[in-house]
Structure 1
């Protein structure tokens, strides 16, 4: 086709520098005549190379030549559409911070139709952007559609460990099954096993099965240190090949372990190194900021571990596309029946409010009903967030009401009674509460060590060690004890205060289920009679009948 057959754009006004550059990206400048103004000939090669579509070309032409007729504009758009439809485009993949950038060299239009939902078009840079998590999916899709892909990301799916790990312990049957299910799902997926069943062992075995650089994300500092010790002790990994990325110690190594908070804050530094990511306590991942970890890592190989995948807010469903779905699940009861966890019983112990507490309870309940105006709790929260003063006050009263119930004086008396009885049997006892003040009061009354979120690191470690070694037989915990603590031989738990959360209940019960010859675990729930705590107790115990948790 000769140059004369290319559509000509007549521009009868002076163009600014930016407008002139925009036109030169889609056309060739032919010169200027007194009668026709500046002349530009559409250049299909430029348009294809830049990856522009006919819609964009039309916008540039109309902006440069506002007086162009609809017929002329349609002819230009049709010409461009015809030229770009028969070309085979190219795409350059780059990583920029925690973004994956797709730079088109040619019109990608129909080539990206099936993955358009993953991409966002950046008009200023004239590129498509997405999360590194979709790197493999985007690249494989483009190649399958015939797009020539130039990968400049530097991502390596086959960045192997310096030495192949070998697990020194014999895996249990269900652990082998879990690994096999994960491998069969292309080294992706969530393994849901009860607390005490050896999820960390499954994680270490997964790395032995797929020995590539791996980032392990743990929920607490204690869990992070447990992971490090497991790799060194169980898989013959040399200490210099395991790096902790936490606090002042931030070392990237073939096996790097970080907490959720640190990984979230430093995802832009961590994301390019690791073909595999293991997320412990993966039910936390759907939280808005922690999602950035899963989306920001390019890692094609992913393993999520949790005792309680299901979230009561329903957001666990967001885990499936991020991690690969639940590939294996065993309930506590299944592993108890198989002899891998200790049998247990639950005893609900009810106490009454004192007369003074009962009076206060009735006053607060009446006040709450007046302020809440019959609203459901979720609606009350929304109203408070919208600035409704009565809703805000209702929430304050509700909090005061819950603390009154949970801190009932007769609960402490009952705790002392149960502890005295169980200590005579030689039991090791964990006491769970929600409140720091209550935990410290119980610890003072029982002369027992206490661990809360405010406990200094050295004191926390000392208290855990004293309990593990049996030098202390009672340990008082707030919610810091719900997850990620390695206490192998506790056999009695006392819930003094909790929530209606099934997940929290399962986690607390799981602290007691690690097997030991002749062991039967006992979980006491101390509940205030005639209050909403009775409903909460029934609700969380429903978790034991729900094998999906």
Structure 2
């Protein structure tokens, strides 16, 4: 006799409580709960049902409805989709027909199947690779992943909406419907899912023409690593058994290579392990990482197919040049520059091959890859579209979060298997709910209500622009004297800004709702004017020639890639002796939730500082003394500081894991020691500008180009925040991790 499942004992005693009617009247009834709370509960129950359909022999599921009465779940689906119509209307600019609802249901079920068959990591990499295949900018999917868990109905609807808006829905859907074996192969196959820059494509082509041997001389921050990974991707398409060895002199650089390979090639592996852990997939494909100092002793033991030597000029030294004798078919050397004409250069040429491609600093500046301009950061507030609703939801989240923490410590400890008895952040809460769902543990109803409120609030934030009054005021001032390109969040925001500007100054607008003639006219008029503002949500993706400009303004609240700044460098005018200006808005909600918004806001700032320090751009605060913003920023930093010292890491749905050990270990030994020495002379708190000055001074020997202050140290601002801006604690961190 089969074992009785967890929910069946209660079902046999009280079958009437497992009907949809009972569930609606006693749980979902929107007279008792908000729509968001009811949807949070309904979403969880539907997910449990879908999981049962995919895995009918699994006994871990706990149901609130009779799962063998299909009508119960048809009614629940109808309730969910009916109440989600307002959400769908906001996200999908289309008539909500039965076909749309049916398409969303099928799309959701396809994603549920995907989540049942693949790990979250595999699913994420699969999304990246499908995006590349169908020519979709992956950032639109990444933004959705930052808002909702993969297995929620809210995620399905938001993803459906953004794919539909980008006219890629059915291309994406078709790939999801491939046989599981093909999806599994695609998810695990090393595959470059990044759109390369023209100079990177040219570099790879020149290396391939040179019989897959030779040195690429490329300036810092021009993407040398990407070319090496692209070579791996290219060769792996023809050889499932490809073996790769990456060599360099620095362990920190090798760890970075390993993380980049995982991210850019979509290899399922733990990015937090160090370079001693090889990357591999089914078959004999393998990427190994090692130092010149180790390999030079016995190079014949490290036979490989492709040898990549980063910072290859270090291999010219008499001690380490033997490492270049590793037996291999193909060789690639990477370096900012190969100097001199003597023995060292001859050694490199004889072992790796001659220089087959050069892309120097002047080339990078001319092409806008390393743009030369000033960047101002504007700290402002978001302008939520439904402000009253937003404030009400925020207040309910704070109250319910506090209530759960104060009344459910025993339940939290039980469900977290003794790891903690209260939630320190919203991310902790979401992670535990997700884990409970996967393991078939019953989730308290209040928790599901809170989850529904959180999911309702997030899209309001993400579809909101930073307060555009400031941007409009700035654009009026600048646009009356110069040519300016303004990036907005969406078409509606574009139209609102256009209406506010038109009549006062020359204003032009370009977006996908306009026909080709209208777009061409706007672009032509802007190209021919001497001053004015061009407004667009995705001007760089319109596939049209972009006129030059003097000023760029970005008021899109969605995070854009490093490519935004690089592309802006192509657009902005490079007049002799004059640096163009780029204004970037970083926003936070007026109704602030410490445990939800602190990490996101701080990471927005950390992200833009990563970009500017890597590219040697000076970032300045536009209004550094706004008292209200400063208060919330200090509040955010204190929350992050306290959280880290309790949990030893920061985990967020928005940006992954922040761990001090990995940030410190990514600093090369000489700059790290110099930074420690510099901190000895610092007293009092460290400001942002002082921190950047210290970083650049510590790395000055690594910058071979005069007046270029590039520092490639991801997440470096978190180092400052988590040390509490205290030089003594910062020094302790630097000395603690080798």
Query: Fold match, TM over 0.5?
Result: no
- Structure number with greater Rg is 1
In proportion to residue count, which structure has more strand? 1
TM range (shorter): 0.3 to 0.5
In proportion to residue count, which structure has more helix? 2
Query: Normalised by the size of structure 1, how large is the TM-score?
Result: 0.38
Query: Normalised by the size of structure 2, how large is the TM-score?
Result: 0.29
